Structure 1
Amino acid sequence: MSFSVTILGSNSALPTSDRYPTAQILRVSERFFLIDCGEGTQMQMRKNKINFSKIHHVFLSHLHGDHIFGLMGFISTLGLLGRNKKLTIHAHPDLKDLLEPQLAYFCEDLPYAIEYKDLTFDSPKIIYEDKKVIVESLPLSHRIPTCGFIFREKPKEPNIRKEAIYKYNLGIADIVSIKNGESFYDDKGREVDMNKLVIPAPKPRSYAFCSDTRYFRKIIPAITGVDLLYHEATFLHELKDLAKSSTHTTAKQAATIAKDANVGKLIIGHFSSRYKDLTPLKNEAMEVFENVDLALDNQQYFIE
């Protein structure tokens, strides 16, 4: 099944003519999750042919405008499209007080329910789980309470080899126990090599979203080994003092986090509008960590 990230917006505070503020769609095990919802999110969703009705969970990293100004329009559009299924929003507890007066004024006949799930910001915490996916919040270090998110596939069961079913006359109970990792013995009492019985399940894939934050090494244990890391890289390292004072990260610092966390691939984003050409940010990051991509609007990044 597909595991991919679509960048709807890659810029920091100000939108530009070709870069929207932060928003992403993560597709994992046929679930579609909206991560942040900057201005213009629903326009970008239409451009990328993303089905609005498939979004059931929204994860908001923090309550700065460039990460939530698209939310009210998105909620209204869902209502106009006749949505009747609940929408769950994972966010800072203040969101409900901010959003409810707008909903009461503009969307008093909203045909679906909104459920607010409050994030906490003191330690990592599981905030969503189903049969195939688990989502963990990850405290970051910004001017206001901010969370990153880690999305992980749950381990899959191995597949029974068809030839083994016939060779060893496997019944349903045998198949279930083998898939659960239990030993199997043939009719002569000999233990059968598990590799002859099953095709190993693929390794579970993972994605970590870290924006906005200063250079914050405390996140490394939580994101170690993820397949794909999105980390903000608002500035080049020559502006490291500005990055520190504004609680943001440089491209070099983001790459250092990726290297020390031994991630598979790094995508950098949340670019300052001062950069028309993003190549220097990528080059700076690649001096530290080789496998780097720019988060470009309307680009899709796959985890194989």
Structure 2
Amino acid sequence: MKLTILGCYAATPRSITNPTSQVLEINGHMFLIDCGEGTQVQLRKKKIKFAKINHIFISHLHGDHFYGLIGLISTFMLLNRQHDLHVYGPKGIKEVILLQLRLSKSYTGYALYFHELESTESEVVFEDERVVVRTIPLEHRVYTNGYLFNEKPGARKLNIGLIEDLGIDRCYYQKLKNGGDVILDDGTVVRNETVTYNPEPIKSYAFCSDTVYNESVIPIIKDVSVLYHESTFLDSESHLTERTKHSTAKEAALIASKANVGKLILGHYSTRYDNIDNFRKEASTIFHTIELAEDGKEFDL
């Protein structure tokens, strides 16, 4: 699991910072999460192949989280994309994108699918044999969801040396990988756990931006491997959180602590601050395993 931060600042793009966008590579998938202005430029800088992005998840319809989407969709067209693109986001995202395509007489040569979300309850929005993605309902000024990405358990690993010593035929290898037992020709039952190892622990990633402090997310993200949580403000501006529906670094850390997450990544900083190290300092008084998101930073998770 690898996370690449394309942008992690709030509100407006600047020459030195970019609004929210990130790429999550997990179990063979490359998911784009939010698409603020400049996303495709950042993708090029990080040498991420556009063609590998087939699923885009938009948290909400504030400009710093989706104004880069129409440009990216148009670039896909200019690059002669042929395969399907799926966009997940709040109801209205289809209308706003198709209106721009229609008025500019720009039509995609590939199938463009919109999965519009309205539920205020957590729901599965994508699933295949490797990964499941569900929403994390957040509390912001407009309808907003975070997203939880969970790997599915992998196959068990074979103890080849022991398997060969027991004379187990190769035709049973897949059964063993799937957790099954094997009966030898003499009737001996070989228990799965004696000839296989546990699969790699499954990993999970939760993306929470933008939201006021909201404990209702805790059961959804409980024990997640990595949590990205917005931390727009420092404590000195905590009086702004209720009006803007954003969180402080300390509040993000409190959510991480109560949810028992493995690691917390802070981001979505207000551009009023010159030194983002202060976000870590304030959050570390509550939670200790903390990373700071920065534009272009990669996390090998």
TM bracket (short chain): over 0.9
Q: Does 1:230 align with 2:228?
A: yes
1:124 to 105, 122, 125: 122
Give the drift of 1:112.
1.3
1:23 to 2:21 alignment:
yes
| Structure 1 residue ranges without an equivalent (≥5) | none
Assess if the C-alpha contact under 8 Å between 2:156 and 2:179 holds in 1: no
- The answer to whether 1:78 aligns with 2:83 is no
Alignment partner, residue 153 of structure 1: 151
For 2:276, the aligned partner's letter is L
Find the counterpart in structure 1 of residue 50 from structure 2: 52
User: In the TM superposition, what are the counterparts of 1:81-92 in structure 2 within 5 Å?
Assistant: 81-92=79-90
Cα distance, 1:236 vs structure 2: 0.6
Residues 204-235 of structure 1: CA deviation (Å, up to 9, x unaligned): 11100000000000000110111110000000
Quote how far apart the aligned CAs of 1:193 are: 5.6
Opposite residue 291 of structure 2, the aligned amino acid is D
Give the Cα separation in 1 of the matches to 2:185 and 2:83: 53
Give how far 1:172 is off: 4.7
- Counterparts of 2:97 and 2:24 in 1: how far apart (Å)? 24
Q: Scaled by the length of structure 1, what TM-score is found?
A: 0.94
Gaps (5+ residues) in structure 2? none
Output the aligned Cα RMSD: 1.6
8 A Cα contact 2:168 2:184, kept in partner: no
Q: Which moved more, 1:82-91 or 1:175-184?
A: 175-184
CA contact (8 A) 1:76 1:107 kept: no
Q: Distance in 2 between matches of 1:50 and 1:166?
A: 42
Decide whether the 8 Å contact of 1:121 with 1:147 is kept in 2. no
Give how far 1:165 is off: 2.5
State the 1:121 CA deviation. 3.2
Q: Which letter does structure 1 place at the counterpart of 2:194?
A: K
Q: 2:200: which partner in 1?
A: 202
What is the distance in 2 between the residues matched to 1:16 and 1:281? 20
The number of residues matched between the two structures is: 301
Deviations 1:137-179 (Å, cap 9, x if unpaired)? 1110001100000001110011221113312222355334333
- 1:288 shift after superposition: 0.7
Indicate whether 1:11 and 2:5 are aligned: no
Tell me if the contact between 1:23 and 1:36 (Cα under 8 Å) persists in the aligned partners: yes
The residue identity in structure 2 corresponding to 1:289 is F
Tell me the CA shift for residue 58 of structure 1: 0.5
Distance 1:121 1:246 in 2: 22
CA distance in 2, matches of 1:37, 1:108: 19
What secondary structure is seen at the aligned counterpart in 1 of 2:88? strand
- Aligned 1:138-287 pairs, distance under 5 A: 138-172=136-170, 174-184=172-182, 192=190, 194-287=192-285
What are the Cα deviations for residues 218-270 of structure 1, in whole angstroms up to 9, with x where unaligned?
Answer: 00011011111000000012222201211000000000000111111000100
**Amino acid paired to 1:157:** A
The 2-side partners of 1:243 and 1:55 are apart by 34
Using the TM superposition, give the Cα deviation of residue 199 of structure 1 relative to its aligned residue in structure 2, in angstroms.
2.1
Q: Distance in 2 between matches of 1:161 and 1:19?
A: 49
Q: Which amino acid counterpart does residue 138 of structure 1 have in structure 2? A: I
Aligned-pair CA distance for 1:195: 4.3
How far apart are the structure 2 equivalents of 1:57 and 1:176? 30
Relative to structure 1, the CA distance from residue 278 to residue 133 in structure 2 (aligned partners, 3 Å threshold; closer, same or farther) is same
Q: Identity over the aligned pairs, expressed in percent?
A: 41
Distance 1:107 1:216 in 2: 42
Q: CA deviation at 1:19?
A: 1.4
Whole-angstrom CA distance in 1 between matches of 2:163 and 2:88: 45
How far 1:95 sits from its partner (Å)? 0.9
Residue 168 and residue 107 in structure 1: after superposition, are their counterparts in 2 closer, same or farther (change >3 A)? farther
Amino acid at match of 2:130: K
